[in-house]
Structure 1
Amino acid sequence: MGAAPDHPSIAILVVAGGRGARAGDGPPKQYRSIAGKTLLARTLEGLGAATPEAALKVVIHRDDFNQYQASVAELSPSERARLLPPAFGGATRQDSVRNGLEALAAEGAPDIVLIHDAARPFADAALVARAINSAAIHGAAAPGVALADTIKEIDDTRVVIATPERARLRAVQTPQSFRFDLILKAHRAAAAGGREYTDDAMIAEAAGAKVYIFDGDAANFKLTTQQDFARAMELLKPAAFADLPDIRMGQGYDVHAFGPGDAVFLGGVEIPHSHGLAGHSDADVLSHAITDAILGAIAEGDIGAHFPPSDPQWKGAASSIFLARACELVRARGGAIANVDATIICEAPKIGPHRERIRESLAATMGVDIGRIAIKATTTERLGFTGRQEGMAALAIATVRLP
């Protein structure tokens, strides 16, 4: 390995061509808004601040060019000026990275390249500096985090066959960093051999390079699921709420009569009962009230306008679909759900034993922290239709913040 330049030129290749299916319905996750900015814009903003000397290049899906342009428009003029033209991805992440590397080579190869996932917005300056230094010294490097849990290797019958020594294991993150000529050659060899690898460090290993593992950062987590987005939102909210000054409130109310069945659905949780609730969908009276409250806060009509009961596709549908869609409409406008306060009105079943499961279910569906969801229950002292146990009702208030 030759000596590293005293002042190496650096490029950061940001991989943003995936579809992000595990994040739920909506646009690809890198273009979803989180605390008022798209995930991609937040990642580029953080990388730019961490490495003022580096050029930034994004690899995108061919169908996403307009979304990419809208996302980078959220950056400052000086941040946009550092962006090289985007490269188009391939069928796999490996293909996409190789396309990005080839584009960098054609534009004037840097000495060092960092390859980073667009879905990791929390890579800070210290982590990026370790990546650059490690690549300059070792040629190929990746950040790794020590494991807190014991790992078991199992066979096809789920029987443990080995327990690796935890102290020698690391969970690998990005940015992974390389001498540019080394990783470009390794990617070309992997493509020629028709082999697929799970990360760029493995590609370097397959080409014979020794990959150094430097200290990663547990805060540098990847946003994959709705729960990950909720966690990221909680981290960003203290600062981001200052950018979301438009505070809206909406109310929701729903009623369903009891009918045949042996359980009711509340907030996505199935609760045993002597009757079910009658309705076109799963008749989740709580989810319906919360959905209407969120839609009301952003003046987007009501649940029937988006999911009409006359449409047969919603017959028996899980109401979590409706609630998740309302939350996605908030995020699409760059907003955030600050809290939901809901009351279930019924004589039976008892809600108390199920309250925490309901809150957990709603938090997962909505992509918010459970601490932002309050669920209460009351009776009407046997007055009215709920008192006569003819049905259930729910009231909800949602507070939403928008740019």
Structure 2
Amino acid sequence: MAPTVAVLVVAAGRGVRAGGGMPKQYRPLAGRPLIRHSVTAFLGHPEVTTVRVVIASEDGGLYAESLGDLALPEPVTGGSTRQISVFTGLETLAANDPPDIVLIHDAARPFVGAELIARVIAVAGTDGGAIPATAVTDTLKRAAPGTDRIAGTVPRDGLFQAQTPQAFRFGDILAAHRAAAEAGIEATDDAALMEWIGRPVTLVAGDPEGMKVTESADFARAEARLTRMTEDRMEPRVGTGFDVHRFAVGDHVTLCGVRIAHHLGLAGHSDADVGLHALTDAILGAIGAGDIGLHFPPSDPRWRGADSAAFLRHAIALATRRGARLRHLDVTLICEAPKIGPHRAAMRARVAEIAGLSERRVSIKATTTEKLGFTGRKEGIAAQAVATLMVPDDD
């Protein structure tokens, strides 16, 4: 029978060196909190039984915003040091159906692949402990105490840089932490405590690019790597949208977020903005998320008279959570009146603002039906839209 495997993601630190006004693990990285990248890598792994996050007592709100929608058990409240936080997490696991193997991972390491996870689990199962590590390749110099002068060169043979996740038989690492707590021993990582009690730990091949986000500049480096990784598995998706609203009593219409004086209004449960409705449906279609009526039912009184910009933002937020990137929006308004030309620039700017795009990535066009059909008879306005996105290839 396969061993049960728990993961402790340690996220109780403050990360002050990274700046940003909040603990670094909750700062955005490529549109998602840093900690979310780390946690989801384990949630999707077939050998992982459960994932538990250790947080600071004051970070409950940040945790909920970053991970509250994921199927995770309640977070563990950590302590003043990483070692105390890990120990608290281990004791929590021990009290609730302890696993066979535990992986301990730093929330600030967003790059952890499925193969690396499988490697440390397999070796920990046979050897008792395993950590990913990379060989030191740069020449190492030792400075004289209190100076910047070189005092000597450190041989790099046999030297490795440790990474996480570090994996251990659960009973062994729990015993090491309990013994260290009793003896007042502090270590820089969990493998050091295993060494201290005389238990073997095996080095396995780590990821040369498996960086830890520590300084503010590391966010730019990490974002660049995520961009490369994401683009490797992105595919273009095109969604289309179409919407119609009839004219009714009123003194203006709202089209693509711009209010235009007119002798009639448009009938609709929201502000009847056919342009934004069509664009919303186009984005939802590109990510396979249904249509605008599914997300904002016309029967729901909350949307009576609502600004349709909220609908478009919602669709874009769904796409972002899927890891998609909006690249271009194109909408065609179909009507005899009002005239669209005088308002085209304002519409383009407004759609770009709502979508967070450059105006160069937004197109607003208008046409008539040569007096044919309901729009030709000036009974209403129609719009059709196309949205182009780059979407992760789930296959």
Per the TM superposition, whether the score is higher than 0.5 is yes
Q: Which runs of 5+ in 2 are unaligned?
A: 236-319, 324-395
Q: Kindly provide the amino acid, as one letter, of the partner of residue 153 in structure 2.
A: T
Residue-by-residue CA offset, 1:91-149 (whole Å, 9 max, x unaligned): 10000000000000001110000000001111000111111011111111211101121
- Separation in 2 of the partners of 1:66 and 1:42? 18
Give the alignment of 1:94-113 within 5 angstroms. Answer: 94-113=83-102
Matched, 1:36 2:25: no
- Separation in 1 of the partners of 2:9 and 2:162? 17
Could you list the structure 1 runs, at least 4 aligned residues long, displaced by more than 6 angstroms after superposition.
none
- Separation in 2 of the partners of 1:53 and 1:46? 10
Task: Tell me the TM-score normalised to structure 2 length.
Answer: 0.56
Equivalenced residues, count: 241
Q: Shift of the alpha carbon at 1:161?
A: 5.3
Which position in structure 2 is the counterpart of 1:183? 173
Q: Shift of the alpha carbon at 1:163?
A: 3.5
Higher RCO (Cα < 8 Å, 6 or more apart):
1
Matched, 1:235 2:225: yes
Q: Of 95, 114, 117, which aligns to 2:103?
A: 114
- Separation in 2 of the partners of 1:8 and 1:169? 31
- Separation in 2 of the partners of 1:35 and 1:177? 28
Give the alignment of 1:96-245 within 5 angstroms. Answer: 96-158=85-147, 163-237=153-227, 239=230
Q: Secondary structure at the match of 1:192?
A: helix
Which position in structure 2 is the counterpart of 1:13? 8
Which position in structure 2 is the counterpart of 1:67? 62
1:51–1:128 CA contact under 8 A, matched in 2: no
Give the alignment of 1:324-363 within 5 angstroms. Answer: none
Q: Shift of the alpha carbon at 1:46?
A: 1.4
- Separation in 1 of the partners of 2:168 and 2:48? 17
2:177–2:193 CA contact under 8 A, matched in 1: yes
Q: Secondary structure at the match of 1:121?
A: coil
* Identical amino acids, percent of aligned pairs: 46
**Stretch deviating more after TM superposition (154-163 or 13-22):** 154-163
Q: Shift of the alpha carbon at 1:160?
A: 5.0
Q: Kindly provide the amino acid, as one letter, of the partner of residue 15 in structure 1.
A: V
Q: Secondary structure at the match of 1:152?
A: strand
Q: Kindly provide the amino acid, as one letter, of the partner of residue 167 in structure 1.
A: D
- Separation in 1 of the partners of 2:150 and 2:89? 40
Larger Rg: 2
Q: Kindly provide the amino acid, as one letter, of the partner of residue 185 in structure 2.
A: R
Residue-by-residue CA offset, 1:4-32 (whole Å, 9 max, x unaligned): xx511100000000000110131101111
2:47–2:118 CA contact under 8 A, matched in 1: no
Matched, 1:47 2:42: yes
Q: Shift of the alpha carbon at 1:208?
A: 1.1
Task: Tell me the TM-score normalised to structure 1 length.
Answer: 0.55
Q: Shift of the alpha carbon at 1:64?
A: 0.4
- Separation in 1 of the partners of 2:201 and 2:227? 37
- Separation in 2 of the partners of 1:192 and 1:101? 15
Q: Shift of the alpha carbon at 1:210?
A: 1.8
Q: Shift of the alpha carbon at 1:84?
A: 2.3
